[in-house]
Amino acid sequence: MICASFIVDCTRLLFKSRTSSALFGYSKQHYCAYCQHKYRYPVMTTQDDREQQLQQINRIIHGYTTSRTLMTAIQLSIFTHIAQGNHSVEQVAQAADASPRAVNKLLDALVGMEFLKKDKPNHYELLPCSARFLVKSSPEYVGAMHENDDHWIAWSNLNKVVKTGQPCMTVDQEKKAEEFFPHLVRSLHQMSLGRANRLAEKLLEGKQDVALEVIDIACGSGVWSIPLAEKCSNVRVTAQDFPKVLELTKSYAQHHGVDQQFNYLPGDLKTVDLGQQKYDIAILGNIVHSEGEKSSKILFQKLAKALKPQGRVVVIDMFPNNDRTGPAYPLIFALNMLVNTTQGDTFTFEEYRQWFIEANIPHVFMLEVVPDFSVIIAQVS
Ligand SMILES: C[S@@+](CC[C@H](N)C(=O)[O-])C[C@H]1O[C@@H](n2cnc3c(N)ncnc32)[C@H](O)[C@@H]1O
């Protein structure tokens, strides 16, 4: 229904758009400037607005085409084949054991997407971004998590998952976790390392000369604890994860030259004994969102006992605002948890604060590490 004030004065100038989605950059809902009623029907827009809105919808709804193109290129090792000296369609097709006609289309699309360049006919080269991050032998390779279709398949089932409320596949049991996570954590390591270094600097401020015991729960590659050990020889890390994943952690610790400072605590975080008053810092990197509320609350209680006085829990995760109206990424990531886990979700600062207080870890605050990257710190008295 249109509200009365709209009829009185129906020029666009009287209406404010409220940004309801960072992805759209404009409102899908319209409010009357006088009475703040929300309309079910769109107000009149100019032709420019209409075009812009349609382009935004189009861009988002066809996002799968660019996503799938890049994933296919990763899965067929296209960037790696080019790095190894295969520059023509025929050479790449042979190296990838694929159809030359199809490879031609794929390579041209990657040129259009600015992952490759083609300065002369039938000669494709890597651009700096793809050479650095998409070639398997590169130390900064981030494609590992897309070498299989696990994420793609999970998201393809979103309709069914929304209807039933149940994920089609979960990765929280040890056997599946040990297959799934090594790919993911290899990519996460590269993507998080820069931020992890900045976080380590912040956590070590004023503590360079103090011996620090750190436990990195569900550590994956150890990306959040390795920089602490690198920056301070007094840091000792207990790396906790499933046994197979810890083999990978060990290789990262060795690669970074800090293996001597690492101990390993294999097992399921739900059942593993964390001990009493042992640690100065407990790191929870990207694990609360997959554990969900019930299991995380129990974990916080175990951590309250495992931490020394003044000990800190550091939560690295995605935090929607307290009203759950943004930012878009943590809200969309909650869907990622819906399709992949039974209890996972993203949680607000206020939710974390309550859970920590209930667990007797009363001092809770948000620490901005760099713009666009904040962590939650909770400190024992
Ligand atoms: C998303 S990765 C995060 C890894 C790392 N903390 C990071 O931020 O890059 C989740 C990690 O949690 C581990 N994990 C998941 N469920 C677990 C459980 N029940 N017990 C121990 N580790 C678990 C996985 O093996 C994986 O290494």
Question: What's the 282 CA to ligand 1 centre distance in angstroms?
Answer: 14
Are residues 282 and 379 in contact, defined by beta-carbon separation less than 8 angstroms? no
> Which of 181, 188, 369 most suits a substitution to test ligand 1, by most atoms within 8 Å of the C-beta?
181
Domain of 214 in residue numbering reads as 174-379
Task: In whole angstroms, give the CA distance from residue 159 to residue 179.
Answer: 25
Whether the bond into 327 is cis, omega within 30 of 0: yes
Question: What's the 177 CA to ligand 1 centre distance in angstroms?
Answer: 8
* Nearest residue to 83 via CA among 147, 143, 135, 146: 135
Question: 360 and 274 in one domain?
Answer: yes
Which entry of 81, 151, 189, 289 is annotated as an active-site residue? 289
pLDDT of residue 175: 82
3-state secondary structure (DSSP) of residue 2:
coil
pLDDT digits (tens, 9 = 90+) for 36-87: 445 455 556 688 899 999 999 999 999 999 999 999 999 999 999 999 999 9
Residue of minimum CA distance from atom 13 in ligand 1: 218
Protein residues whose CB sits closer than 6 Å to any atom of ligand 1: 172, 177, 181, 184-185, 188, 192, 218-220, 223-224, 241-242, 245, 268-270, 285-287
User: Counting atoms of ligand 1 from 1, which one is nearest the CA of 216?
Assistant: 6
Greater confidence (374 vs 15) lies with: 374
Task: In whole angstroms, give the CA distance from residue 103 to residue 87.
Answer: 12
Question: What's the 69 CA to ligand 1 centre distance in angstroms?
Answer: 28
Question: 90 and 31 in one domain?
Answer: no
Please state the domain count of the chain: 3
Task: In whole angstroms, give the CA distance from residue 190 to residue 179.
Answer: 19
Question: 125 and 193 in one domain?
Answer: no
Pairing assessment for the beta strands 116-120 and 123-126 based on DSSP bridges: antiparallel
User: Counting atoms of ligand 1 from 1, which one is nearest the CA of 270?
Assistant: 19
The structure tokens listed for 78 are: 């296209």
Question: 326 and 212 in one domain?
Answer: yes
Residue 119 has pLDDT above 60, yes or no: yes
User: Counting atoms of ligand 1 from 1, which one is nearest the CA of 219?
Assistant: 6
Residue whose tokens read 């975080």: 269
Question: 220 and 311 in one domain?
Answer: yes
User: Counting atoms of ligand 1 from 1, which one is nearest the CA of 178?
Assistant: 25
Q: Which residues, 6 or more positions from 356, have their beta carbon under 8 angstroms from its beta carbon?
A: 300, 313, 362, 364, 378
**Residue 149 belongs to a domain:** no
Question: 82 and 49 in one domain?
Answer: no
Question: What's the 242 CA to ligand 1 centre distance in angstroms?
Answer: 8
> Which of 241, 291, 315 most suits a substitution to test ligand 1, by most atoms within 8 Å of the C-beta?
241
Question: 188 and 261 in one domain?
Answer: yes
Pick the last residue of a domain from 141, 160, 184: 141
Question: 193 and 84 in one domain?
Answer: no
pLDDT of residue 47: 82
Q: What is the CATH number of the domain that holds 129?
A: 1.10.10.10
Question: Hey, which residues does 125 pair with through a beta bridge?
Answer: 117
Question: 296 and 237 in one domain?
Answer: yes
> Which of 287, 314, 337, 369 most suits a substitution to test ligand 1, by most atoms within 8 Å of the C-beta?
287
For the ranges 86-90, 125-129, 147-151, 226-230, the lowest mean pLDDT is seen at 147-151
User: Counting atoms of ligand 1 from 1, which one is nearest the CA of 291?
Assistant: 16
**Residue 157 belongs to a domain:** no
| Average pLDDT of the chain to the nearest whole number | 90
Question: What's the 185 CA to ligand 1 centre distance in angstroms?
Answer: 8
Question: What's the 287 CA to ligand 1 centre distance in angstroms?
Answer: 6
pLDDT digits (tens, 9 = 90+) for 344-367: 999 999 999 999 999 999 999 999
pLDDT digits (tens, 9 = 90+) for 260-304: 999 999 999 999 999 999 999 999 999 999 999 999 999 999 999
pLDDT of residue 208: 81
Question: 91 and 50 in one domain?
Answer: no
Question: Hey, which residues does 377 pair with through a beta bridge?
Answer: 314, 365
**289 counts as catalytic:** yes
Average pLDDT score over residue span 175-201: 93
Q: What is the CATH number of the domain that holds 234?
A: 3.40.50.150
